[in-house]
Copies of this chain bind each other. A is one copy, B any other.
Amino acid sequence: MNAFAVAGAWQDIDQEESIMGAENNESRQTALSELRQVLDGRLSTSEAVREQHGHDESWHPGVLPDAVAFAQSTEEISEILRICHRHGMPVIPFGAGTSYEGHLIPTDGGISLDVSGMNEILQVNAEDMDVVVQPGVRRKQLNAWLADTGLFFPVDPGADATLGGMCATRASGTNAVRYRAMSENVLALTVVLADGRIIKTGSRARKSAAGYDLTRLFIGSEGTLGVITEITLRLYGRPEAMASAVCSFETLEGAVNTAIQTIQMGIPIARVELLDEVMMGATIRYSKLDLPERPTLFLEFHGSTQAVAEQAEEVAALAQDNGGGEFRWTTLEEERSALWQARHDCAYACKALRPGCENWATDVCVPPSRLTEIISYIRGVAENSFVPAPILGHVGDGNFHMVFVIDPANREELVEAERINDLLVAKALEMGGTCTGEHGIGLGKMAFLEMEQGEGVEVMRTIKQALDPKNIMNPGKIFNFQAGTVHQHGKPSLAGGSV
């Protein structure tokens, strides 16, 4: 259970439950007893299990599901959804619980459908460089399994998320600049629809023009259109050599321009991560790095031994032109691991800035040429705030995170973080960017989605209403089922009483 829950968020539950009518409640009780028949011992109503499934890694206050169903197969999920559809019982698919925008919170109760037990790697087609997995397989598990094949799956959102969850949120991460995001690395899905029908989208062909691209419709649908129960992923050959590099810059602009010019020159860089001076300060202290407290790029190159050396030298020259300091690069596994461990530990480094506090990690993505401007702008805002807010990001894609390190029990801090987040997203949209590059909408960014996509949200709503007319699939996420209604779950500036 995360600290937000400890901080009293569970008080919300009663408010939510009181909304339910008695009739509704009766129907749900019937659903639960029918589900118990199907799932036998795998339907849990224990307080501990429900609490574990009542939140994600966001600041949003948790809500208990009515029960947690531990599913074992596509067919079983189909049966579960038929029951829930019949009785109007909400269903929230649950993988590793690592999402950041409240995606997994059962704001209207219902069933948390835990697919983490469906974690088999079903088929490795090494010659075709694809793999078929169940949705509960985690990315590290997959790569460990693939170790002997010479292949790997590159998408790396940091957390050891499930592949089902990574599909559901259109995840990406540090490697996306070279290998792209989930939406570009999934060939096919098996999906159970809200009414229990099972469909297969896509195929094992590497491309297709066969009708509407349903695969991509479900990727990023955050569990609101169906449950993903099988995934066919593209794999890549493990590069012969990998080199990592680090370089500090006098200015933020110098760091960002180095990243932009690297992409423009077509250098197939595998990772290019920016840490601003605040983030570097935190990381240097937490991971004991011998680096200056300045804007810094962490980089990685994949290719032949000759190619990675060539790439590293080209980028080193660009860095020098942009006021970079010493450009240290290495192919030694130990040094490479230490660097990326520090990058992956950034979340802990942030928390260590204020012991006992938690991270609210937001993300936006802008056209890369606007990165310097938006980061300078929001850095300026944050410098005049009492909330620490380090910045780090996948600058090759124009995507970055600001991490508000706050005490979730302190309403003033939540409201202040919300204020900065509002300014950040507004600026990103003004620049032609998006309110989220990889975390998704969940509960946290519904209003921003309306600002960004306008009438497009009405089209999303039309699709949702057509495919899930009873609104049982993860209700209340991404947008409101009925236009014009406003969801206020856990909004810091309005729900102060509950936090």
With beta carbons under 8 angstroms apart, the residue of B205, B428, B436, B452 that contacts A367 is B205
A462 within 8 A of B: yes
How far does the alpha carbon of A209 sit from the alpha carbon of B172 in the complex, in Å? 9
A437 within 8 A of B: yes
A263 within 8 A of B: yes
- Measured between C-beta atoms, what is the minimum distance from A361 to chain B in Å? 13
How far does the alpha carbon of A449 sit from the alpha carbon of B432 in the complex, in Å? 37
Interface string of A137-172 (1 = CB under 8 A from B): 000000000000000000000000000000001111
Scan residues 32-62 of chain A and give those whose CB is less than 8 A from a CB of chain B: none
- Measured between C-beta atoms, what is the minimum distance from A178 to chain B in Å? 10
A197 within 8 A of B: yes
A124 within 8 A of B: no
Task: Let me know if B211 and A460 touch, CB within 8 A.
Answer: yes
A342 within 8 A of B: no
Task: Let me know if B367 and A130 touch, CB within 8 A.
Answer: yes
| Of A105-113, A320-328, A463-471, the one with at least 4 CB within 8 A of chain B | A463-471
Interface string of A172-194 (1 = CB under 8 A from B): 10001000110110000000010
With A209-B437, A210-B452, A268-B268 known as contacts, the answer to whether A369 contacts B125 (CB < 8 A) is yes
Task: Let me know if A210 and B264 touch, CB within 8 A.
Answer: no
Task: Let me know if B221 and A129 touch, CB within 8 A.
Answer: no
With A454-B199, A456-B201 known as contacts, the answer to whether A365 contacts B208 (CB < 8 A) is yes
Scan residues 5-24 of chain A and give those whose CB is less than 8 A from a CB of chain B: none
How far does the alpha carbon of A93 sit from the alpha carbon of B126 in the complex, in Å? 42
A276 within 8 A of B: no
Task: Let me know if B205 and A399 touch, CB within 8 A.
Answer: yes
How far does the alpha carbon of A437 sit from the alpha carbon of B180 in the complex, in Å? 21
The interface of chain A, by Cβ under 8 A from chain B, is 125, 127-130, 169-172, 176, 180-181, 183-184, 193, 197-214, 216-217, 219-221, 225, 236-237, 239-240, 260, 263-266, 268, 303-304, 306-307, 310, 365-369, 397-399, 428, 432-441, 445, 448-449, 452-460, 462-463, 465-467, 478-479
A-B contacts, 30 of them at CB < 8 A, read: A127-B260, A128-B368, A129-B263, A170-B209, A170-B213, A172-B209, A184-B184, A197-B455, A199-B456, A200-B456, A201-B453, A204-B366, A205-B433, A206-B367, A206-B398, A207-B397, A210-B440, A211-B220, A211-B479, A212-B217, A212-B460, A213-B219, A216-B216, A216-B217, A236-B266, A237-B265, A268-B268, A459-B467, A463-B463, A463-B467
